[in-house]
Every structure is written in structure tokens, then in C-alpha cells.
Structure 1
Amino acid sequence: MQFPGFIRPASAADLPAIDALLRDAFGGGAEVALIHALRKAGAMRGEQVIPLGDGIIGTYALSAMVAPVGWLCLAPVAVAPDWQGRGHGRRMVAQLAAWADQTATPVVVLGAPAFYGKAGFSSAAAARLTSPYPVAQTLLVGVGGAVPQVALRYPAAFG
């Protein structure tokens, strides 16, 4: 029996596996197109994976927000369908949230508050943000106890 490895930065060799994982996890190519556009635009700031043998079972991407400068956006986050429900997604996101808090790097995510909240992101911290997307599904980490009042501008790839 194989066990997943430690979360690590994605390498160039992982890119085809990331594409396949995103297609499997989301049932289509929209997220693959998103990460390709983020990479092409130079907006990608980091991609992490959970390795398993010669493949991967989890991934997430961080891109630079257009505004506020210095903020990051988490998207997409994916776990292989056969590995979902075992805590691997929460493990990835919680590790990122801990890093964001320790380095005071604001990271915003648009997603399910119940999932991201358990991993350390806060809906309350995002309450005063303005966004082109629903603020009720926007969460924030890396700002300490602050509740900033800023307008979010995502990279053009988010269209």
C-alpha cells in the first residue's frame, strides 16, 4: 500500500499530471485553462502538489492579485476523486493558511466557507472586501485580526 508524500512545490515534470488531475477532479478543462492562462500571464506565484509514487493526488495554485498588490489568490485546489474525503485537501489548505499567517501574506479564496474555514481561512476577515465575486463565499487568511476594507482585483485569467 502506498501513502501520499509530503506537500511539495510542483516541478515542470508534474505539469501534465496536474492537468490530468484537474480534469478528473472538476470534470472538464476550465481549471486547466485557468492555470495555463495564469502561467502564461506571469501571474502564477506557486503551485504545490501531494505526490503519490510517480504521480500526484492533490494540487493547488497561488497567483498574484492585481489589487491589493502583494495579496495572493488560491485557485484551483483539487484532490483526485479516489482520494477525496480523506483530509488531503484540508491538509494542503491548512498548511498554506499557516504559512500565510506566519508570513503575514494575505491569501484570498472563493469557495465553500465550511471547507476553507476548517483549514484556517476566515469569512469574517473578508467581510469588508469588495469583489466581482460573491463576498459570502470569499475567505481570507494572513491578515492577523484585521478586517481590511479593500477592493479585490483578480488576474485577467479569472475573466
Structure 2
Amino acid sequence: MITSPDYMRELRRGEEGQVDDLLALAFEGQDEVRLVHHLRKDRAIAGEMVISADNRIVAYAGLSQMIRPKGWLCLAPVAVHPEWQGRRIGGRMVGMITEWARLSKKTVVVLGEPGFYSRYGFSLERAAQLTSPYPVSHTLLAGPGETAPKETLVYPKAFG
């Protein structure tokens, strides 16, 4: 029987352990698990989205509140279970998040592979004038506007 994933939805209470397992598998370690735990503890998480299939979480995306600029969000981490990778599930999640950012007029920053994130609505060019503690060559923006803002990024302390 062919199984297909469900729709993207908010993480439900009690599913945190499944997210931990998914992050540990997808990133081959505990760094991203610790990151999400610290973001939750610091109340920096703005939203956690998942896609499930066969009653288990197969994809995850977290949005956190940036310290600066105020009102901006950071997309991290994004993970897809290794057995489900290559099926465009991650791209589907990222695409829905960029469309939500555009419609809700929220600016979302992501640090990642430009070739992947730019396919789903993030812009490397719009991030070109940002100052960041991380490589601007891998920093992209999604959301309202078309200009390249001159801002200094300050991530939640969990990223430190």
C-alpha cells in the first residue's frame, strides 16, 4: 500500500518526543534536539509545524522570534525523516511557510542551502545587505517587500 503524508499542521501537545526522534535521525545527532528544547524553554518558539503519515511525524519546521529586528522570525530547524526524504515534503513545508509569510506580512529569515530555499520563495538577494553572525552567503529572506533591508540579525540565544 502506498502511503502519502498528511497536511501540514501545528505540533500537538505530547508529540515533542516524536520531534526529538525525527531531529536526531535527520541531523544524525542531538544538536538540533537541544536547539529546539532551548527555544521552547526560552519561549522563543513562535510556531512548530509538522507533517505526519501513518500516525507518526515525518517532517518538522520550527519558527522562532528573532531578537532583532523585532517582529522577524527565523525558520530553523527544518527536518524530514530519512525514509521520507526525496519526496519534496521539505520543499512543500518551506513553500507553505513562505506563502504564509507573504500573506501575513511577516519577514522570515533562514540560514541554509540557497539552491534549496530559493526554489521555495526565499531570496538570497534580499538578504544581501544584512549583518549576521552567520554567513550572509547562506542567509535568505521571505515575506513582504522586494528591497534588500539593511538590518542586523540577532538570533534567539539558543542559537548561540
**Shift in Å at residue 143 of structure 1?**
2.9
Corresponding residue number in structure 2 for 1:78: 79
Letter in 2 for 1:77: V
**Shift in Å at residue 104 of structure 1?**
1.2
Letter in 1 for 2:88: G
**Shift in Å at residue 54 of structure 1?**
1.4
2:146 is the alignment partner of 1:145? yes
Corresponding residue number in structure 2 for 1:156: 157
Gaps of 5+ in 2: none
2:110 is the alignment partner of 1:109? yes
C-alpha RMSD of the superposition: 0.7
Q: Secondary structure of 1:128's match?
A: coil
CA distance in 2, matches of 1:18, 1:105: 25
**Shift in Å at residue 103 of structure 1?**
1.2
Corresponding residue number in structure 2 for 1:4: 5
TM normalised by structure 2 equals 0.98
**Shift in Å at residue 99 of structure 1?**
0.5
**Shift in Å at residue 3 of structure 1?**
1.3
Q: Secondary structure of 2:58's match?
A: strand
CA distance in 2, matches of 1:140, 1:109: 7
CA shift digits 1:32-82 (9 cap, x unpaired): 000000000010000000011210110010000000000000000000001
CA distance in 1, matches of 2:147, 2:103: 14
Q: Percent of aligned positions with the same letter in both sequences?
A: 50
Corresponding residue number in structure 2 for 1:40: 41
Corresponding residue number in structure 1 for 2:88: 87
Displaced runs of 4+ in structure 1, greater than 2 A? Answer: none
Letter in 1 for 2:102: D
Task: Report how many aligned residue pairs link the two structures.
Answer: 159
Q: Secondary structure of 1:153's match?
A: coil
TM normalised by structure 1 equals 0.98
Gaps of 5+ in 1: none
CA distance in 2, matches of 1:82, 1:32: 19
